[in-house]
Chains A and B, each alone.
Chain A
Amino acid sequence: MAEQRESHLWKWLLCTPALLVLVLAASGPLFIVLAYSFLTPGTMGGVRWEFSTEGWFRVFLQRDIFDPDEVRWNQAHLTIFWRSISLSLQTTIICAVLGFPTAWFIATRPPHRRALWLFLITIPFWTNLLIRTFAIQELIRNNGTINTLLMRTGIIDSPIQMMFTDFAVLLGMAYVFMPLMVLPLYAAMDKLDFRLVEAGYDLYASRIKVLWYVILPLVKPGFIAGSILVFIPSIGAYVTPRVLGGGRTMMLGNLIALQFGQGRNWPLGAALAVVMLVIVVTTLVLYLRWANREGGQVRV
C-alpha cells in the first residue's frame, strides 16, 4: 500500500516539469490577457495599472463618437464577430464535404499505397502558411493562372474578379485547413469495419443508405475531431483573410491586432481576445453536447 502511494508520488514528481510548463506557458499568458482587459490603456500602447471596465464595455457597446451620451450596441464589433463565426463555420463545412471523399479514397487504397497518399496530403504542411496563401493568390488574381487559362481558351473575355472577395477567403482557408480534416477522418475510416458495410449491402440497403446509416455514424468521431481542428484556427485566422480578402473587411483576428497596434487600446484588444476564446469554447461545448446526444452508436 505504502509502496503504491510512494510510486504515485513519484509519478506526480515526474510530471511536475510538464505540469509547470503547462501552467506557466499555457495558462499564465491567458491570465495576463484577462488581467490586461481590466486595465486602462497606457500612452502609445501598453497598459496603466488602474482598474477599468471600459475595455469590456467597448466590446459590445459604444458611445456615439459625436454624441457621447448616446450608448448603443457596437454594431461594428458585432458584425465582425458574426463574419468570423460564419466564415469559420463555412470553412469547416467545406472541409468536411471535400475532406470526406478524400479520406475515403485514401482509406480504400491498398495498405501499401495509403502511406503515399497521406504523405501527399501532408506536403502543404511543410510550407509556410504565408507562402501557401500567396500561391492561392497567384492562382486567382486577375492575371493569374485561372483567369489566363480561361481567357486563352476564350471562355471569358475579361478576368473574373476573384481576389479580394469572400470566395477568395473561403478558398484559401479551406485549402489551408483541409489536411486537419482529412487526417482525423482517415484515422476514423482506417478503423472502420468494412464487414458492416457489406452487411448493409447484404440487407438490400442502397449506397446512399449505407453511407448515411452505416459509414457516417461510424466515422463521426473523425468528423468531430476534424471540425474542432478546423474551426478553432479558422476563427483566429489573420493572414489568409488579410492577404486574400484584401483587408476590406476585418475578421476577429484583425480587429484584435488593430487594438494592439495602431489603435493603441490594449485593454480592448485583450477583452476581444477573451471574447474570441469564449466563442471557441462555447462552440466546442455546444458541438460536443450535440454530437454526444446524437450518440456514437450505429443506427440500423
Chain B
Amino acid sequence: MKKTLTVSLVALLASGAMAKAEGVLNLYNWGNYTSPELIERFTEETGIQVTVTDFDSNDTALARIRQGGHGFDIVVPSDTYIPVWIEEGLFQPLDPEIVTDRGNIAPQWLDVDYDQGREYTVPWAWGTTGIIVNTSVYGGDINTAGVIFEPPEELRGRINVIPEMSDVMSLAIYHVGGTDRCTDDMDVLRQVRDMLMEAKPHWLALDYGTVDSYAAGDLDAGIYWNGASMRARLQNDDLAYGYPRAGYPLWMDNAAVLADAQNPENAMRFMNFILQPENAALISNFARYANGITGSEAYMDEVMRDAPEIVVPDDLIGAGRFGQPCSEEINDIHTQIWTELLQ
C-alpha cells in the first residue's frame, strides 16, 4: 500500500514536471541561441514537439543535469566542459542507426580532443571571443586586447566586458604574455590582477545582452563574441570586430543526448537533423556563428559568407586557442581575482 502510494506520487510528480509522451523533445540550450525556424522545420518533418529551456552558463547546466530529474533530452555545453560530462557518464553515445550523417562534420571538427571521433557530440556552433570597437570613436589598432585592458582616452568609460570569468581571464593572460590560460605562473597572474584592477575604473559595465547598446552608441568598445558583434554591426556599420594578436579564445558548443533522456530516440533524430547542412545553416543564420558542418555555407544568409566576424583573417587564425577547464586550484585563484575586481 505504502509502496503503491509512493510510486503513484512519484509518477504524478514526474508527469507534472515533464512531458514524457511520444512525439516530444526537451532541449536545454543557451539563451537566445536556438533558431525558431530550425525547431519549426524539425516539427514539420517529424511531428515531434520541441520545448526549449535556457541556461546561462556551463556550470549552471552541469549542476542542473547532475541533480537528475531534469526531464531534458539534449544539452549544448561548450568544448571545455565536454570531457567532464563524458567522464561523469552524463551523455549517451550517438546511436549509429539513427545518427547516420556524422560524415557531414567538417574534418577539422571531427576528431576534436574533447570527443575523439565524435562518439557523443555533434557541433552546434563555434566562434571566437574578441574585441568589438566603434571605429568612428577609436581609429587605432583593434586586433589587441589593450583596447580594453589599457584603454585609450577616447574609449574610457565607454567599455563593456562580458561577465564571463574564463573568457576575460584568458584574454588578460594572453595579453600579458601568458600562453596557457590555466597557467600557474604567479608572475603572470599578478600582472593580470594588477592590469585588470587598473582597467576596471574605465569600464562602464559588465553585461551580456548589449547588442542594441553597441548599435545605439551607448557603448563604444568591449569584449564580445563574434556572432553577437556581427548582429550589432548589421545595425551599425561603424562597429568592427578585432582578434587579439596575443591570443584569443576559440570555442565550440556541442549538442549531446543525455544519459537519462526521456525521449532518446527523438533526441537522436534531432542530432541527425542538425547534421544536415541546410538545417545547420539555420542555426548560423539565427545566432550568427559558424557551425562546423560541411556545405552549410551554401544555405547561409549572404551576409554570413564573407563576414569579417565569421571568416578569421589568415594572419590571425593562429592566435585562436581552445581551452580546457582549469584545475580547482587555478580556478580558485581566478575566482579570487574576479571577486577582487568586482568588489
Interface residues of A (CB under 8 A from B): 41, 43-46, 62, 65-66, 75-77, 79-80, 141-143, 161, 163-164, 246-250, 254-255, 258-265
Complex partner residue of B335 from A161, A246, A262, CB under 8 angstroms: A262
Chain A residues near B189 (CB, 8 Å)?
65-66
In the assembled complex, the CB of B67 is this many whole angstroms from the nearest CB of chain A, namely: 10
Which residue on B lies nearest to A250, using beta carbons? B342
Pairs across A and B, CB under 8 Å, 30 listed: A44-B81, A45-B59, A45-B63, A45-B66, A46-B63, A62-B336, A65-B189, A65-B193, A65-B336, A76-B343, A141-B218, A142-B217, A163-B205, A163-B218, A164-B207, A246-B205, A247-B205, A247-B207, A247-B342, A248-B203, A248-B204, A248-B205, A254-B342, A260-B63, A262-B59, A262-B335, A262-B338, A263-B165, A264-B59, A264-B331
Contact of B62 with A by CB under 8 A: yes
Given A76, A77, A246, A261, which contacts B207 in the complex, CB threshold below 8 Å? A246
What distance in Å separates the Cβ of B289 from its nearest Cβ neighbour in chain A? 21
Contacting residues, chain B, for A261 (C-beta < 8 A): 57, 59-60, 63
Interface check B108, CB cutoff 8 A = no
Of the residues A43, A164, A262, A265, contact of B165 by C-beta under 8 Å: A262
B171 CB to closest chain A CB, in angstroms?
A: 15
> Which chain B residues border A76 with CB–CB below 8 Å?
339-340, 343
User: Nearest chain B CB to A25's CB is how many angstroms away?
Assistant: 14
Residue of B whose beta carbon sits closest to that of A243:
B207
Beta-carbon contact of B339 and A66 below 8 Å: no
Known contacts A65-B337, A258-B335, A263-B331, A249 near B343 by CB under 8 Å: yes
Known contacts A65-B189, A261-B59; decide if A143 and B206 are in contact (CB<8 Å).
no
Contact A79 B343 (CB under 8 A): yes
Task: Considering the complex, give the chain B residue whose CB is closest to the CB of A43.
Answer: B328
Measured CB to CB, the closest approach of chain B to A48, in angstroms, equals 10
Total residues of chain B contacting the partner, CB 8 A: 40
On chain A, the residues within 8 Å of B331 by CB distance are: 263-264
Q: How far is A220 from B66 in the complex, measured between Cα atoms in Å?
A: 48
Q: Which residues of A contact B60 (CB under 8 A)?
A: 261
Near A by CB (< 8 A), chain B positions 59-80 give: 59-60, 62-63, 66
Q: A164 contacts which chain B residues (CB < 8 A)?
A: 204-205, 207
A44 touching B84, Cβ below 8 Å: yes
Q: CB of B5 within 8 A of chain A?
A: no
A38 to B289, CA, bound (A): 43
CB distance from B192 to the nearest CB of A (A): 11
Q: Which residue of the partner chain A has the closest CB to B340?
A: A76
- A141: chain B residues within 8 A (beta carbon): 213, 218
For the complex formed, measure the closest distance between the CB of B120 and the CB atoms of chain A, giving whole angstroms: 17
Nearest 7 Cβ contacts at the A-B interface? A246-B205, A76-B343, A247-B206, A263-B335, A261-B59, A79-B343, A262-B165
* CB pair B216 A143 closer than 8 Å: yes
Residue of A nearest to B88 (CB): A44
Asked whether B333 is an interface residue with its Cβ less than 8 Å from the other chain, the reply is yes
B323 at the interface (CB under 8 A from A): no
A262 to B60, CA, bound (A): 9
B337 with A246: CB separation less than 8 A: no
Closest Cβ–Cβ distance, residue A42 to chain B (whole Å): 9
CA distance A260 to B62 in the complex (A): 11
Partner of B339, one of A41, A77, A142, A260: A77
Q: Are A264 and B342 in contact (CB under 8 A)?
A: no
- Min CB gap B212→A, angstroms: 9
> B186 at interface (Cβ–Cβ under 8 A)?
yes
- Beyond A44-B325, A142-B216, A261-B59, whether A250 also contacts B336 by CB under 8 A is no
Interface residues of B in 293-341 (CB under 8 A from A): 325, 328, 331-333, 335-340
Residues of B218-235 whose CB lies within 8 A of A = 218
Q: Which residues of A contact B205 (CB under 8 A)?
A: 163-164, 246-248
**Residue from A43, A65, A75, A142 whose CB has the most chain B CB atoms within 10 Å:** A65
CA distance A63 to B207 in the complex (A): 29
Residues of the B chain whose Cβ atoms lie less than 8 Å from the Cβ of A247: 163, 205-207, 342
In the complex, residue of chain A having the shortest beta-carbon distance to the beta carbon of B331: A264
Bound form: Cα–Cα A80–B343 in Å: 6
Given contacts A45-B62, A163-B205, 20 further A-B contacts (CB under 8 A): A41-B328, A43-B84, A44-B325, A45-B63, A46-B63, A65-B189, A65-B337, A66-B186, A80-B343, A161-B204, A163-B218, A246-B205, A246-B207, A250-B342, A255-B339, A258-B338, A261-B60, A262-B57, A263-B165, A263-B338
> Chain A contacts of B340 at CB under 8 A?
76
Closest chain A CB from B68 CB (angstroms) = 13
* Bound CA span A289–B333, Å: 42
Q: A66-B189, A142-B216, A265-B335 are in contact. Are A75 and B343 (CB under 8 A)?
A: yes
B143 interface residue per 8 A CB criterion? no
Say yes or no: is B92 at the interface (Cβ < 8 Å to chain A).
no
Q: Which residues in B have their C-beta under 8 angstroms from that of A43?
A: 84, 328
Q: Is B190 part of the contact surface with A, judged by Cβ < 8 Å?
A: yes
A43 to B218 Cα, complex, angstroms: 40
**Residues in A whose Cβ lies below 8 Å from that of B213:** 141
Q: Contacts A246-B206, A249-B343, A262-B165 known; A66 to B190 CB distance under 8 Å? A: yes
Give, as a whole number of angstroms, the nearest-CB distance from A40 to chain B.
10
CA distance A259 to B189 in the complex (A): 20
The CA-CA distance from A254 to B163 in the complex, in Å, is 11
Q: Which residue of A lies closest to B190 (CB)?
A: A66
Q: Residue B204 contacts which of A75, A77, A246 (CB distance < 8 angstroms)? A: A246
B129 to chain A, nearest CB (A): 15
Q: Which residues of chain A have C-beta atoms less than 8 A from B193's C-beta?
A: 65
Distance in angstroms from A138 CB to nearest chain B CB is 11
Give Cα A70–Cα B336 distance, bound, in whole angstroms. Answer: 15
